[in-house]
Amino acid sequence: AQSVAQPEDQVNVAEGNPLTVKCTYSVSGNPYLFWYVQYPNRGLQFLLKYITGDNLVKGSYGFEAEFNKSQTSFHLKKPSALVSDSALYFCAVRDRDGGYNKLIFGAGTRLAVHP
């Protein structure tokens, strides 16, 4: 079965510093990978996805993610963190089961950006 792991429960970063939120995946076949962000008591918002092509994917709000096939990783990055980036971040992988498509989510990583 497909799965993703987010090894860090929380990441702390100072405002203006670069940030990385880690994600590793386990899939059979080519992976379809996604990042989402969640603010308190809200639904998830799509940030970016990797389907095929360039390993560096650019998304919303200045975020980008690097797909690394050899390390089975899809880390989320941003060159300069903002306090407003503080939120819960989820990595997800598409699972295809019996012809049906669904996303499998990691446990989430809480990002705290300090002024």
Partner 1 sequence: DGGITQSPKYLFRKEGQNVTLSCEQNLNHDAMYWYRQDPGQGLRLIYYSQIVNDFQKGDIAEGYSVSREKKESFPLTVTSAQKNPTAFYLCASSMDRVDGYTFGSGTRLTVV
Q: Which residues bind partner 1 (CB under 8 A)?
A: 9, 32, 34, 36, 41-46, 49, 51, 90, 94, 96, 100-108
Pairwise CA distance, residues 65 & 21, whole Å:
9
Give the residue with the Cβ less far from partner 1, 32 or 63.
Answer: 32
Non-local (6+) Cβ contacts of 111 within 8 A are 10, 11, 13, 19, 21, 81, 85, 86, 87, 88, 89
Question: C-beta of 48: minimal distance to partner 1 in Å?
Answer: 9
Pairwise CA distance, residues 59 & 31, whole Å:
18
Give the residue with the Cβ less far from partner 1, 13 or 108.
Answer: 108
Question: C-beta of 16: minimal distance to partner 1 in Å?
Answer: 29
Question: C-beta of 107: minimal distance to partner 1 in Å?
Answer: 4
Give the residue with the Cβ less far from partner 1, 25 or 36.
Answer: 36
